[in-house]
């Protein structure tokens, strides 16, 4: 039977080519992503090896201890100093230690040479960061070698990496500014360095300053890490153990090799989510491809009915025929998966090359990982075999008497069972969606999601029942528009509703997902617009390097024309054994800058009190209760005096004095600015003593430019536009990933038509014999294709919009207060579907119109 399966595939490859391509496209996404992430991991692994190659032992805060003890505080801080100079001296005194160098990293940015003013660009500072460290003077410690000039020898001096000196526009001898929370500090550039072998910093700026200057800018007398070089022949594990005995609690010593491996493993943990994301979309593509496979093998089985009847007549069992069909499917799966792996590898190479143009050489060797190969063959094989199972079972039931039939087509199974199952699933799915929307349940979106998945399967099964009457209704207008060609196209779809519906369902699922995502993102845009509409502030102030320095807020508040400012901070505190976000606000001005949805009003929040959101209420906390929050500064008892009505905007809200009790000195991550009456809109004429909005913004930016050039000012409209651009980018990425599913669906349309043409060879020959022209045959096939494409698209859009709307409504607790229908996208999808239907029909229509009339009439079936 295996030989027969191979011969069948070999002698009739055309009928399986598009099926193989469909599987290959789905598989290629997995292979491409895993090859890409594997190369990215390899590249960063090499980088980590370079970083720690000269360091025998790294002494640092223990990450595990930090996770257990970290109760909140500044989420933007670089590692705080945990090793005093005495600790560094104690490490130096350990037997086997040759050098022990304390390391300090400064939170700040190296300013470009032309920086004289701040920025109002919302994207400013979003590039690669500045890495600023203390200079030790030993290349094994600094991991850098001097290229030009010299190293840092005194306070007030700085060296930059060889790429950044050009990028930032400096030359040796220039004055370089570093912006930190304390303001801008000037240094004299005395040299350039190369990091590692190739200065591969992924676009970041690397700078070194003196030890004293680094402590001053970091505002910390201690060191965050200690790099240790051991004496020749020393046992690293023994030295690690001895260092552990002299360092403070909550810190650790680890070999440089183990540290590099740990960093690589942490990166791999992140990249695995990218792989999972790709596998999910590949699964969608292959699920769509399953419809093509089912259609292909069902048509093939029907066309080979006489062949199977003859085989049964000479003693072949039904089990053997079933095995032969499944073996054919397995051969197709192996070939298609192999093609998909090759295609995926080429896609990964292309994408890596594109990324390298913008981010530099961040990739290691581009090799195909074993996981990619295994996933490709498992997913491709499983989908193909499962999809071919029902046609194989049908083939195994062919009776020997079928060999005596004149035609090679079998009888059509009724749609009764399919309709009953589809109707039941559709009702169950609709019921779950209704339950999630109208019954007060926790996490209603889970019920909506589960119901949506079941409903889609049910509608897929019912599509055949829907398509048959639709074809009947369209017969009259198609006849009036296209005469006999349109009538024949409608009849062809009507007599094979199962096949046509399966083809349309594949397209329906792809379009449904696109419409669902478009509905969700369009509604999300409405939420964003609503959020900014609720803003009463004239400007948003943020910092490109994390929190806003207190001095910057004072500068803004002191500019003429500023009525007041209102700052917002954040921290993380423990409650009921879990970590929760804590918003820190200024209640006396908060209500004047934003419409907070609270009960009572937000300005009634006082020190020692807390407002809670619905997620905390679900834990059993009520207004009037007293709760204890545990922050980095210890436990604080607070009275619950109000409720925040939106679930997605922080779990607890406290005042800044209360925040300081929890987290120490809480810094603002955002400051809202309100102007007084002396500032008028840009489209109004400024009177005496008045300035326009733009002039006032420039006035504030000029005041910040000297000491706080990295504080960014943006109007609410600018931030709204930026947020909408990000949402559009997200929609574009998801649409591109779903594109493979749509391509597969269109291949399914072409595949079904090709196989249909083969099955109707004699019929087409007879039509040609009685006078039908090639142009008419072409038009008939094209109309069939367009009907299936438009039917699948419209059904997909209806489902996508309906289910997307249900999903949005189920997320009301997260700020969604209504549904926005993406009408423009729906029109675009419909037009593209009609065009795609024409394109998908080109090859089948060409084949049908070129059939030899006499050979077609003489064909079997």
pLDDT digits (tens, 9 = 90+) for 705-757: 888 887 888 888 787 888 888 888 877 777 777 777 777 777 777 777 776 77
pLDDT of 413 over the 70 cut: no
Q: What is the DSSP letter of 687?
A: -
Q: Rounded to an integer, what distance in angstroms lies between the CA atom of residue 84 and that of residue 52?
A: 22
Closest alpha carbon to 795 in 561, 508, 549, 417:
508
Q: Rounded to an integer, what distance in angstroms lies between the CA atom of residue 142 and that of residue 772?
A: 83
Strand, coil or helix: 748: helix
Distances (CA, A) of 467 to 391, 422, 461: 22, 14, 11
Instruction: Classify the phi-psi angles of 443: left when phi > 0, otherwise alpha if psi is within -120 to 50, otherwise beta.
Output: left
Kind plus residue range of the DSSP H or E element containing 120:
none
Tracing tokens 């440089």 back to the chain, one arrives at 256
Q: In this predicted model, what pLDDT tens digit does every residue of 809-838 receive, in sequence order?
A: 888 777 677 788 888 888 887 788 778 777
Distances (CA, A) of 474 to 325, 470, 795: 37, 6, 16
State the number of CA atoms in the 13 A half-sphere of 414 facing the CB. 3
Question: Cα angle vertex 499, ends 498, 500, to 5°?
Answer: 95
CB atoms within 10 A of CB 20: 25
Crossing angle of the two packed helices 370-396 and 256-303, in degrees rounded to 10:
20
> What share of the chain in percent tops pLDDT 70?
89
**What pTM value is reported for the model?**
0.67
Q: Rounded to an integer, what distance in angstroms lies between the CA atom of residue 41 and that of residue 44?
A: 5
Give the rounded distance of the alpha carbon of 591 from its chain centre. 35
pLDDT band (50, 70, 90) for residue 434: very high
Mean of pLDDT values over 227-245 = 90
DSSP for 799-856 reads HHHHHHHHHHHHTGGGT--S----HHHHHHHHHHHHHHHHHHTHHHHHHHHT--HHHH
Q: Rounded to an integer, what distance in angstroms lies between the CA atom of residue 58 and that of residue 193?
A: 23
Tracing tokens 């609503």 back to the chain, one arrives at 530
Q: Rounded to an integer, what distance in angstroms lies between the CA atom of residue 166 and that of residue 147?
A: 14
Q: Which residues pair with 609 in a beta bridge?
A: 639
pLDDT reported for residue 51? 67
pLDDT of 67 over the 50 cut: no
Q: Rounded to an integer, what distance in angstroms lies between the CA atom of residue 269 and that of residue 276?
A: 11
Question: Sign of the CA dihedral 331, 337, 342, 346?
Answer: positive
Answer whether 308's CB lies under 8 Å from 405's CB.
no
pLDDT reported for residue 127? 46
- Mean pLDDT of the residues in the chain: 82
| Tokens coding 556 | 């803004």
pLDDT reported for residue 636? 92
Q: Rounded to an integer, what distance in angstroms lies between the CA atom of residue 658 and that of residue 633?
A: 11
Answer whether 723's CB lies under 8 Å from 524's CB.
no
Tracing tokens 């769509």 back to the chain, one arrives at 288
Who's near 456: CB < 8 A, 6+ residues apart? 429, 509, 512, 799, 803
| Tokens coding 617 | 């209420």
SS (H, E, C) 22-89: HHHHHHHHHHHHHHHHHHHHHHHHHHHHHHHCCCCEEEEECHHHHHHHCCCCCCCCCCCCCECHHHHH
pLDDT of 91 over the 90 cut: yes
pLDDT of 7 over the 80 cut: no
Kind plus residue range of the DSSP H or E element containing 479:
helix 444-482
Higher pLDDT, residue 510 or 671:
671
Question: Cα angle vertex 479, ends 475, 480, to 5°?
Answer: 125
Mean of pLDDT values over 529-537 = 78
Answer whether 572's CB lies under 8 Å from 75's CB.
yes
pLDDT of 73 over the 70 cut: no
DSSP for 582-618 reads EEEE-HHHHTTTB---EES-GGG--TTEEEE-HHHHT
Higher pLDDT, residue 55 or 544:
55
Question: How many residues are there in the chain?
Answer: 861
pLDDT reported for residue 76? 36
| Tokens coding 711 | 């504080």
pLDDT band (50, 70, 90) for residue 607: very high
| Tokens coding 793 | 């698209």
pLDDT reported for residue 84? 92
Question: Sign of the CA dihedral 467, 469, 474, 479?
Answer: positive
Instruction: Classify the phi-psi angles of 96: left when phi > 0, otherwise alpha if psi is within -120 to 50, otherwise beta.
Output: left
Question: Cα angle vertex 750, ends 788, 418, to 5°?
Answer: 50
Who's near 432: CB < 8 A, 6+ residues apart? 447, 448, 450, 451, 454, 455
CB atoms within 10 A of CB 86: 9
pLDDT of 213 over the 90 cut: yes
Answer whether 648's CB lies under 8 Å from 815's CB.
yes
Burial group, residue 827, by CB count within 10 angstroms (0-12, 13-18, 19+): exposed
Closest alpha carbon to 654 in 673, 634, 636, 672:
636
Q: Which residues pair with 570 in a beta bridge?
A: 583
pLDDT of 124 over the 70 cut: no
- Distance from first CA to last CA of the chain, Å, rounded? 25
pLDDT band (50, 70, 90) for residue 656: very high
| Tokens coding 505 | 């369902």
Instruction: Classify the phi-psi angles of 110: left when phi > 0, otherwise alpha if psi is within -120 to 50, otherwise beta.
Output: beta
pLDDT reported for residue 12? 63
Who's near 310: CB < 8 A, 6+ residues apart? 403
Answer whether 381's CB lies under 8 Å from 334's CB.
yes
Kind plus residue range of the DSSP H or E element containing 186:
strand 183-195
Instruction: Classify the phi-psi angles of 143: left when phi > 0, otherwise alpha if psi is within -120 to 50, otherwise beta.
Output: left
Who's near 530: CB < 8 A, 6+ residues apart? 817
Q: What is the DSSP letter of 666?
A: P
Q: Rounded to an integer, what distance in angstroms lies between the CA atom of residue 590 and that of residue 763?
A: 77
pLDDT band (50, 70, 90) for residue 146: very high
Closest alpha carbon to 250 in 72, 83, 58:
83
pLDDT band (50, 70, 90) for residue 331: confident
Tracing tokens 């303001």 back to the chain, one arrives at 183
């Amino acid at each position: 039977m295996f030989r027969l399966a191979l011969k069948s595939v070999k002698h009739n490859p055309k009928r399986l080519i598009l099926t193989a391509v469909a599987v290959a496209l789905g598989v290629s996404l997995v292979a491409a992503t895993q090859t890409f992430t594997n190369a990215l991991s390899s590249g960063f692994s090499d980088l980590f090896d370079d970083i720690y190659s000269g360091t025998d032992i790294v002494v640092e805060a223990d990450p595990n201890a930090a996770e257990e003890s970290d109760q909140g505080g500044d989420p933007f801080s670089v590692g705080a100093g945990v090793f005093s100079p005495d600790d560094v001296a104690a490490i130096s005194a350990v037997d086997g230690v040759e050098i022990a160098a304390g390391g300090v990293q400064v939170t700040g940015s190296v300013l470009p040479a032309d920086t004289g003013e701040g920025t109002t660009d919302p994207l400013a500072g979003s590039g690669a960061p500045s890495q600023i460290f203390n200079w030790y003077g030993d290349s094994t410690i600094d991991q850098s070698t001097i290229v030009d000039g010299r190293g840092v020898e005194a306070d007030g001096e700085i060296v930059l990496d060889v790429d950044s000196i050009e990028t930032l526009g400096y030359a040796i001898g220039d004055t370089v500014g570093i912006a930190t929370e304390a303001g801008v500090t000037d240094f004299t550039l005395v040299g350039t360095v190369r990091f590692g072998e190739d200065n591969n910093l992924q676009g970041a700026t690397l700078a070194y300053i003196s030890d004293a200057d680094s402590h001053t800018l970091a505002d910390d007398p201690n060191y965050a890490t200690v790099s240790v070089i051991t004496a020749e022949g020393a046992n690293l594990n023994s030295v690690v153990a001895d260092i552990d005995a002299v360092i403070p609690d909550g810190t650790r010593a680890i070999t440089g090799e183990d540290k590099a491996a740990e960093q690589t493993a942490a990166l791999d943990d992140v990249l695995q989510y990218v792989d999972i994301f790709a596998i999910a979309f590949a699964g969608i593509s292959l699920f769509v491809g399953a419809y093509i496979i089912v259609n292909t093998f069902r048509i093939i089985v029907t066309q080979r009915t006489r062949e199977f009847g003859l085989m049964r007549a000479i003693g072949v069992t039904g089990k053997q025929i079933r095995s032969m069909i499944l073996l054919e499917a397995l051969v197709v799966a192996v070939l298609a998966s192999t093609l998909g792996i090759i295609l995926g590898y080429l896609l990964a190479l292309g994408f890596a090359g594109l990324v390298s143009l913008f981010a530099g050489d961040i990739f290691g060797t581009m090799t195909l990982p074993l996981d990619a190969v295994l996933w490709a063959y498992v997913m491709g094989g499983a989908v193909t075999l499962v999809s071919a199972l029902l046609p194989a079972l049908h083939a195994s039931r062919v009776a020997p008497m079928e060999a005596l039939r004149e035609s090679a087509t079998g009888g059509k199974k009724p749609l009764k069972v399919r309709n009953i199952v589809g109707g039941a699933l559709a009702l169950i799915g609709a019921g779950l969606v209704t339950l999630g929307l109208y019954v007060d349940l926790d996490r209603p979106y889970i019920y909506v999601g589960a119901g949506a998945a079941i409903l889609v399967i049910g509608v897929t099964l019912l599509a055949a029942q829907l398509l048959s009457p639709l074809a009947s209704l369209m017969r009259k207008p198609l006849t009036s528009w296209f005469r006999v060609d349109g009538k024949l196209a409608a009849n062809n779809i009507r007599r094979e509703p199962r096949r046509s519906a399966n083809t349309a369902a594949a397209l329906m699922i792809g379009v449904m997902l696109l419409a669902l995502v478009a509905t969700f993102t369009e509604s999300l845009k409405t939420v964003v617009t609503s959020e900014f509409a609720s803003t009463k502030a004239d400007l948003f102030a943020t910092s490109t390097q994390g929190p806003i320095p207190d001095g910057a807020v004072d500068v803004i508040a002191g500019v003429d024309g500023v009525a007041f400012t209102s700052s917002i901070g954040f921290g993380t505190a423990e409650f009921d054994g879990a970590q929760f976000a804590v918003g820190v606000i200024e209640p006396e001005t908060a209500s004047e800058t934003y419409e907070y949805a609270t009960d009572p009003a937000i300005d009634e929040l006082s020190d020692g009190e807390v407002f809670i959101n619905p997620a905390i209420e679900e834990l059993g906390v009520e207004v009037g209760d007293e709760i204890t929050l545990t922050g980095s500064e210890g436990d604080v008892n607070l009275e619950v005096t109000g409720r925040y009505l939106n679930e997605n905007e922080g779990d607890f809200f406290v005042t800044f004095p209360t925040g300081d009790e929890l987290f120490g000195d809480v810094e603002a991550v955002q400051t809202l600015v309100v102007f007084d009456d002396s500032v008028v809109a840009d489209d109004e004429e400024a009177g005496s003593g008045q300035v326009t909005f733009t002039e006032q913004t420039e006035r504030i930016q000029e005041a910040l430019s000297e000491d706080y050039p990295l504080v960014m000012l943006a109007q609410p409209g600018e931030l709204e536009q930026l947020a909408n651009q990000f949402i559009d980018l997200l929609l574009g990425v998801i649409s591109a990933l779903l594109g493979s599913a749509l391509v597969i669906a269109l291949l399914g349309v072409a595949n079904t038509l090709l196989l249909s043409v083969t099955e109707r060879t004699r019929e087409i020959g007879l039509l040609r014999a009685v006078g039908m022209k090639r142009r008419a045959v072409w038009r008939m096939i094209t109309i069939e294709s367009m009907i299936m494409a438009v039917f699948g698209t419209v059904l997909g859009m209806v489902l996508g919009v309906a289910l997307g709307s249900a999903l949005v409504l189920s997320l009301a607790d997260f700020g969604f207060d209504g549904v926005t229908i993406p009408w423009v996208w729906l029109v675009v999808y419909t037009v593209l579907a009609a065009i795609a239907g024409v394109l998908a029909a080109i090859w089948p229509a060409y084949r049908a119109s070129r059939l030899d009339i006499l050979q077609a009439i003489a064909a079997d079936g």
